[in-house]
Every structure is written in structure tokens, then in C-alpha cells.
Structure 1
């Protein structure tokens, strides 16, 4: 039986946990500072010793653990977890019935009631992502529960915490029948190659499904498109399928070239008619300005933090400057799709970044529409950081 540690918390914090707050920050109790064993249960108690809620201890960038129940009889057992996963699957029946989409999120951490873990479905394969050693310590029950809740062919995993000095495993296969990668999945009828056993990424970010479809439907026909930080070119594929005259995909990673070619080819698109550049996005901006290149549609979806040989990029510090440079490459009347998955600020702050960038460039704009996480990426209303995705379609007026 996993050890249980009682933590008495300040009266001022009791109400929020009674009302459903799940996050356990480092500051909650001095006891957490000295607690070395991850995975142990944490029973939150009033100063008088009355039970409030139960969580587990697990270090990740968001804190020191997560509450998962306010029932003192509940633990992370296989039966309880199976019901939790079954409930999440029940909420996604629309996606299960969608023959055009075979890749989506099956379970989204605290948004579905258990922080520190996510589960994605790629055809009949599941990808479990562990965000702390604490939740990983409960992996046997979690994996048993997943198999009981949904019949997957194989389970793969990604560890998003450092263990033994490293994040990446040589082999991410966990259970079931090994799969030969890449496999082909569909999203809105668009084909993508994915690999669940080749480093930290899979080939597509599932939370941008609605944004990609909107680009295909409304913003691509007859347009020229610049896809900055393009990864495997998913936005470019959608734009090309939407009738774009030409797409330009730019990413620093060398593997982005063959992977982007593969995504175009999977959808019957002539990749040679597109422009795929392996280079630093900021260097490409300089190149485009020098050659007077402009675009009707610019997609900006940078990583929250990135480091190259010559520069360090941080969304919090550098997004305004990034937008300013993108503005110089956007035609009058053109559209910038500004996106970030950084959880450290909200949509209001993100719109302030946009306002500042346009003001600095003495340009005017109109916000056309905004997007956040799709239905399979629910967030915890009491924990604003879980509402992380912010996408704004901006038209440059002058």
C-alpha cells in the first residue's frame, strides 16, 4: 500500500480545495519541501485535523502534485481509474464517431480529473505522457485501468520528467503489440504520418485541430502562406489543401524537411511546388525582408522556449518582437495567426502583446476570431494555467 502523508493547511486555503481546486503548489506546506518520495498520497487536512481532499506528491513545472478526490475512501486503484477513464471516453463519443479523425486526446490531465498525465489515441494505439515521477509511480494501475476502459492495440509512453539525468527513453513501447512506424492517422480527413517511438514528439500537435481546419476552410484559397516554426508542416498541409497558391514552411530542425515532405506526400500534394526551409525563423525573416517577400497568411506558433547556437527565444519576453517582424512580411489585408501554448499568461495578456506589436509598427488591425483548446483538451476552471492554448486570427488593416 502506498504511503499516505497528512498535511495540515492554512484556514485561508481550505475553502478552495473543498470547492474542487486540484493543484498542490510548493508553497502549500513546509512539509512538501522535506518530502523526498514522489508518488505518496497527500491527505490535505484542516488545522483541526478534518480531511479535505486526497492527492499525490509529484514534482513538475506546475507544482508539487495534484488532488484527485474529496472522498477519503478513494485511492488510485485500478477500478477507480478505469471509471475515470471511462467517463473521459464517454465525453468524446463525437470524436469516436467521426470517421475523418482518428487521432485525438483521450484523457487530459486535471481537465479530466487527474493532473500529471495525458493519454492520446492514434488509431488503435495509445500514447501515455507522464509529467512527474509521482504519477509514474502509479503506472501499473493506470495502464491496467486504461486497457480495461478501452481496447488499445498498443501502449507507448513519453516521460516529460527527468529520470536518471534524461527525459528520453531509447524505447517508448510499454504494452500490447509492437507497431511498425510511421503509421497514418486522419484529422478532419487529412492524413498525417506519426511515430510514437522516436523521441519526444510524434509528428503532430493534436490541440490545433480546429485551428488547422479553419485555415483550410476560410483563409487559404488563392493565398501565399508563411508557416513559421513549422515542425512537420501541418498548417502548411491544410493551407495547400485549402487552395493556397504556395506555402513556405520554416523550421530550424533538420528532420523537419523529410517529415514535412512526408506529410505533403501523404495528402497527394506536390511538395516540390511548396517551399520548405531548414533555418532559424529569425534568419528567414531577415532573408524575406531583404528579398521583399510578403505573404497573405502568416502562422506563428513558436515553442514556449527555444535555444539555438545564436539566440534564446522565450514567448513571454520575445513574442512582441516576433510579431513585429512578422508584420513586416504580412501584406496589407493579410492575416496573422498568432498562437502560443505558454500557460504563464492568459488571452487578455496575449491580446496586449498583439496591441503592443502593432502599435510599435504603427499598424492597425482587426481581431477576426480566437480559439482555445478543443473539446478533447478540457481544462480545470479553478486552475487557469490548464487553459493554456491561445490562438488569435488578426487582419492587418494598414
Structure 2
């Protein structure tokens, strides 16, 4: 096992060409060290614009290790970065509280702006949700959407902070809908839109994705057995030219359960039916234990049963800052042409 210093240097060296490409395209948000594949399981080092975010998932870092990471990253990028360290090795511990020396400067906790594909994004190092408001491993998907959205209607399901929708708008989409159950996520999506005033306005639908996608697909909305349906926005049936389906690994609501391991079909079928003829459905599965071959077969079978057979498909892997030695990254993406 290499030392942390050696592992960091090897990871940075491997990214030289990639980071040059990212900087030229207007991106300053990326993973600098993917510990599970680069010699330090449970450790990640990410850049988000002016910030360096270090996170430990298995055990806390000591001050010397954190200092090494910060110094090497700033030296490699030839610029100072504000340091944020989140120890997530204990339950409900996104923030390290054990050592005052490890606490960030006050300025590092302020809202920042990061960039990807030439677009500006709100970055918030610590909050109640996941990561600093932008999932880095989905960058290639956002780039694909940006390159293939001209003149299209786009539906972004489980939109989170609406990065995919923003890229669709930047790509010239004629209409963009972002659907998410959390108003705080959509609020950040609105901020992202305001940070890019050159783009056409997007639509933000505050709704559980189950009733939203089922209505758009022309399917009935039902509650769990014995439960009364809560309020949800009423939407008319209609197809979209490009649909992005990126659900969490598991979630439960009054309308149904998202379970990527056992029941991807409950979301996939209505997403297929809400995709226009000759349209594109992008499916994501971020559950590491699900093999790509098995999941792809399941997706293609579901499309056949739903009467929406796939004419063509391609997979899209994360960028090189998320290396996978076995070629099987946790995030799996299928682009389906119907």
C-alpha cells in the first residue's frame, strides 16, 4: 500500500491531461483523488471552484494528513484553495468536531460559485443534503445533454439542484422541466438559473416524482395500501423529447418506493411512456452492487414489455477523475433511443 503522499502524487499525475481539458472547457469542479481506487479507501478529495473538499468515510484524518493533502493539491493546481474537511466516518457526522485545528476558516463556509461546461453553479460546502450541491460523477451526462438538447423538450426527474436542466437550457432546449420533491433543491436550481442569466428560464415542478411521471405518462396515480393520497401538482399527459431518470438508490414516500436493486421498473415504465417517439431516455443507476450487464438486460426487457422497444443504446462512463480498475464504476448510465 503506497503512502498517502505517494498516492496523491500518482493521482495528480494521472489527471494532468484531463484537468487541462476541463480547464479549457470552463470546468473547475472535479475529483482530484478517488481513494477507493487510488490507494486510500474511504478518502475523497474534490475541487469545487475556490474550495478543496476533503472527506473521510472510514476513519478521521489527523492534522498532518489533512495538511499534506491541502498543500499538495494547492501546489499541483498552482493556486490557493479554501479547505473544507468533512469527517463522515460516524453516523450523522458530515462535519469534523473533534479538533479545532481542523475547522475551516469562516470564508470557506460562505456560498461560493463553481463552474462546469462553462456554466456557473452554486457551491455550498456544508448543508443538510449531499455534497456541495453538485454531484461530480454525473459531469459527462450533463455534458452529453448540453450537446444534444437543441430544440428539444427536456424532462429532468429527481432533478436535485437542476444541473442537467441547466445544461439542457445551455444546449438550446426549447423547454426544460425540473422535477424534485425537495423545495430546497429547486431553490438552488433557481439560483443556478440566476447565475446564468444568458439562458432561457426553466420550469421547476415541486412534486414527488412518482405522481409527476405517472401523470405525464398517462398512468393513474395511486397511494400505498390503506393510505390517503397527499396533495400533489396536477399535470397533463404529454411526452418529452429527452428524459433524464436519475433516482436515488432508495427512498419511500406515500406514492411508492424507489428501490434501484429490486424495482427499477416502477419508475422506468412511466419514464419510457413519457418519452416521445424518436426521443431519448437517459437512465442512471448508482448502486454499486448492481452489475451493468444485468441492469441493462432488465432495462431493455422493461422497454419491450412497455411497448417502447429500444432502437439503439449506448453506455456512458464517468470521466477519468472517477477511475475504476475493473471498468465497473458504481454509476451506470444508459442512453436509450426509442
Which has the higher Rg, Structure 1 or Structure 2? 1
Q: Give structure 1 stretches of 5+ with no counterpart.
A: 1-67, 70-79
How far apart in 2 are the matches of 1:359 and 1:389?
Answer: 24
CA deviation string 1:352-397 (max 9, x = no partner): 121121122122113332111210011233xx7x72111111011x
Q: CA deviation at 1:260?
A: 0.8
Q: TM-score, normalised by structure 1?
A: 0.72
Cα–Cα, structure 1 residues 310 and 289, in superposed 2: closer, same or farther, change >3 Å? closer
Are residue 332 (structure 1) and residue 261 (structure 2) matched?
A: no
- 1:83 counterpart residue number: 6
- 2:82 counterpart residue number: 154
How far apart in 2 are the matches of 1:371 and 1:358?
Answer: 19
How far apart in 1 are the matches of 2:206 and 2:239?
Answer: 19
Which residues of 2 match residues 1-398 of structure 1 at below 5 A? Answer: 68=1, 80-97=3-20, 98-99=23-24, 100-132=26-58, 135-136=59-60, 138-151=61-74, 152-163=80-91, 166-169=92-95, 174-175=103-104, 178-179=107-108, 181-199=110-128, 200-217=130-147, 219-269=148-198, 273-290=201-218, 291-381=236-326, 387-396=329-338
Q: Give structure 2 stretches of 5+ with no counterpart.
A: 75-79, 219-235
Cα–Cα, structure 1 residues 150 and 196, in superposed 2: closer, same or farther, change >3 Å? same
Q: CA deviation at 1:162?
A: 2.9
Contact 2:186 2:206 in 1 (8 A): yes
Cα–Cα, structure 1 residues 189 and 223, in superposed 2: closer, same or farther, change >3 Å? same
Equivalent pairs, count: 309
Q: Secondary structure at the match of 1:345?
A: coil
Contact 2:273 2:308 in 1 (8 A): no
How far apart in 2 are the matches of 1:167 and 1:176?
Answer: 19
Moved over 4 A (4+): 170-173
Q: CA deviation at 1:259?
A: 0.6
Contact 2:169 2:199 in 1 (8 A): no
Q: TM-score, normalised by structure 2?
A: 0.84
- 1:31 counterpart residue number: none
Cα–Cα, structure 1 residues 366 and 131, in superposed 2: closer, same or farther, change >3 Å? farther
How far apart in 2 are the matches of 1:274 and 1:170?
Answer: 37
Q: CA deviation at 1:95?
A: 4.0
CA deviation string 1:317-348 (max 9, x = no partner): 22122111111111110000011111011210
Q: CA deviation at 1:243?
A: 0.7
Structure with more strand by fraction: 1
Q: Secondary structure at the match of 1:126?
A: strand
